Amino acid sequence: MDGRDPVAGPSGVRPIPRLRPTRRRIDVETPFGRLALAHVLSLAGDALVAMALAGSLFFDVDPSGARWRIALYLIFTMAPFALVGPLIGPAMDRARGGHRMMLVGSTAGRAVLAVVMIGAVGSDSLLLFPEAFLMLVLAKTYQVAKAAIVPTVVRSDAGLVEANSKLQLLSGLAGFAAGVPGAVLLKVGPGATMTLAGICFAAAVVAALRVPATTVAEEPAGPEEVAELRSAGVWSAASAMGTLRAVVGFVTFLLAFALRGDTGPPPLGVATGRLAGERWVGERVAPADLVAPLGAPPVWHFGVVVVMSVAGGLAGAAVAPLIRRRAREEYLLLGAVVLALVGGTAGALLAGLTGQAAMCFLVAVAASSGKQAFDAVVQRDAPDANRGRSFARFESRFQVAWVLGAFVPVVVPMPTRLGGFLVAVLALAAAVLFGAALRAMGSGRPPPRLPTARQVGGGVVRRVRRPAADGTTEA
């Protein structure tokens, strides 16, 4: 033996091994495998909660009377994420196991809530709404904690996007796997399905306790990290991704009310809505459901939409890594926004379940693939930024965008075809703005940016306080 490495080549450097299919298996004893197991169990519990609520929250409660409650609770859901980013987040970043604590706490809270909700889902209890929305807050909080932990359980930055893609695929598979026993138990009653959800959350707590208690970021963000995260490329990508997340929230509650049969009068009244939908100068020019929603659809429509949503998330997670090998991350994100535009157009042009399912599927594909592209942009353009801290803060902002998007169809009743039109308009504006930003950055110019709320407010204040010609103020 001459002491040389028999695997190394003539230069003495080991060749990089090819990625074989067997390497894609997840070992539950590795740090990433432990997080993946907790994620699968947590998402399975979320899917079962949605199934249990389908027979109570979405169909048994009067939609018109429920809107003000949902709007109020959606406002409450923004508070935790407004605190997590600027206040609680930095403390958890520097605490050892801080985000794991959030991971365990949000999962344990959902386990307790699932037990409490067993009786409420089968009745018209007034506690159903606060319990359901507290469940939503904990689920979104879990997403923030998971986003911070993922970079700490992968071996290198190169495996970050692949890890997120795997977690997205696993979440879809968990939804499908939980759907079979959940549907069987739903025949017994929603309480039985909620019981199984509680068991899944309890198992997720045990799995989350085995996730390594690492420190996400020992030091506060330095000027170099702040500059990278506020760069033109990252800022433009975050704006596009925030739009996609707002579209997801909008479509979620738009379809929720449509599938519950919200037959409340349109803003112009039933008579005017019918007249505008059925007759104009003596001719039928538009179907009535374009203006005023009709009666409640069959319950199985809800199942079709849920399946299309899960399938879209799976398709986006599976296709995004393949496209990324052949195209830049920005073009993958731009394509995701354009796909959301196509989804909104389909929802606007196609009536009934066909339009709803098509819009839901395409928006889910866009959001899933767009998230993979955004992660890759941050990974590439902010190499000195702490991944866990950065992704957690971005995730908090995206959750706020989701809530703001969901708020619109709650306070403004509308049919799904009108909602699809609004989705298409919003996605078109985001695609044009992001495309202009890419073109500007390609030529070395700063990208166009919409004024922030602070800038708009500051301009108004300066205009009011500006001295007039006669020496007084314009106020």
DSSP string, 211-270: S----S-SSPPPHHHHHHHTSHHHHHHHHHHHHHHHHHHHHHHHHHHHHTT--PPPTT-H
For residue 353, is pLDDT > 50? yes
Contacts of 129 (CB under 8 A, 6+ apart): 57, 66, 69, 70, 73
Distance, CA of 434 to CA of 430 (rounded, Å): 6
Res. 339 pLDDT band, cuts 50 70 90: very high
Alpha-carbon distance of 170 to 351, in angstroms, equals 32
**Percent of the chain clearing pLDDT 90 (strictly above):** 25
Report which listed range, 43-47, 298-302, 320-324, 371-375, is most confident.
43-47
What is the pLDDT averaged over residues 19-48?
78
Question: What is the spatial distance between Cα 272 and Cα 291, in angstroms, rounded to a whole number?
Answer: 9
As given in the structure block, the two tokens for residue 256 are 């929720």
Contacts of 217 (CB under 8 A, 6+ apart): 93, 94, 386, 388, 389
Q: Which of these, 56, 47, 54, lies nearest to 201 by C-alpha position?
A: 47
CA 66 from centroid of its chain's CA atoms: 23
Strand pairing partners for 473? 467
- Identify the pLDDT of residue 158: 63
Bigger pLDDT: 373 or 54?
373
What's the pLDDT band for 341 if we cut at 50, 70, 90?
very high
Phi first, then psi: give them for residue 269, nearest 5 degrees: 95, 160
Could you tell me the pLDDT band of residue 278, with boundaries at 50, 70 and 90? very low
**Coil, helix or strand for 86?**
helix
Q: State residue 284's pLDDT score.
A: 42
Ranges 162-171, 375-384, 430-439: which has the least confidence: 375-384
Those residues with Cβ within 8 angstroms of residue 323's Cβ, 6 or more apart along the chain or in another chain: 332, 335, 369
Model pLDDT for residues 228-259, shown as the tens digit of each residue: 777 778 888 999 999 999 999 999 989 988 87
Instruction: Kindly indicate whether the domain formed by 29-219 is annotated with CATH number 1.10.8.
Output: no
CB atoms near residue 421 (< 10 Å): 18
pLDDT at residue 359 greater than cutoff 80: yes
* Cα–Cα distance, 156 to 160 (Å, whole number): 7
Helix (H, G, I), strand (E, B) or coil at 12: coil
pLDDT, residue 288, reads: 41
Structural contact between residues 249 and 404, judged by C-beta atoms closer than 8 angstroms? yes
- The per-residue pLDDT for range 128-143, each reduced to its tens digit, is 778 888 888 888 888 8
Q: Apex CA 369: angle with CA 368 and CA 375, to 5°?
A: 95
Distance CA 317, CA 120 (A): 35
Of the candidates 138, 100, 94, 99, which has an alpha carbon nearest to the alpha carbon of residue 116?
138
> Phi and psi dihedrals of 280, rounded to 5?
-155, 110
pLDDT for residue 207: 93
Mean pLDDT of 271-284: 39
**134 Cβ partners below 8 Å, 6+ apart?**
109, 113
CA–CA separation, 183 vs 178, rounded Å? 9
Name the superfamily (CATH) of residues 221-264+289-443: MFS general substrate transporter like domains (1.20.1250.20)
Task: Out of 282-296, 315-329, 447-461, pick the least confident.
Answer: 282-296
Phi, psi angle pair for 298, to nearest 5°: -60, 155
**Consecutive H or E run containing 185:** helix 160-188
Give this prediction's pTM: 0.75
Tell me the mean pLDDT in the region 192-216: 90
Same fold, 29-219 and 221-264+289-443: yes
Domain residue ranges in the chain: 29-219, 221-264+289-443
What are 63-83's pLDDT values in tens digits? 556 677 778 888 877 777 776
Q: Give 28's contacts (C-beta < 8 A, 6+ positions apart).
A: 34, 36, 37
CA dist 309 → 68, 118, 172, 200, 302 (Å): 26, 26, 9, 21, 11
Select, from the ranges 174-183, 260-269, 451-460, the one with the highest average predicted confidence (pLDDT). Answer: 174-183
With beta carbons less than 8 A apart as the criterion, state whether 244 and 337 touch. yes
Model confidence over 155-185: pLDDT tens digits?
766 677 778 888 888 888 888 888 888 888 8
What is the number of residues in the chain?
A: 475
Q: If you average pLDDT over every residue of the chain, what do you get?
A: 77
Structure tokens at 409: 């169809």
Nearest CA-CA partner of 358 in 342, 369, 377, 373: 342
Q: Closest by alpha carbon to 179, among 53, 59, 56, 50?
A: 50
Mean pLDDT of 423-432: 95
Cα 211 from Cα 98, distance rounded (Å)? 12
- CA–CA distance, 343 with 471 (Å, rounded to integer): 56
Following DSSP, what letter does each residue of 116-184 receive, concatenated?
Answer: HHHHHTTTT-TTHHHHHHHHHHHHHHHHHHHHHHGGGSSSSGGGHHHHHHHHHHHHHHHHHHHHHHHHH
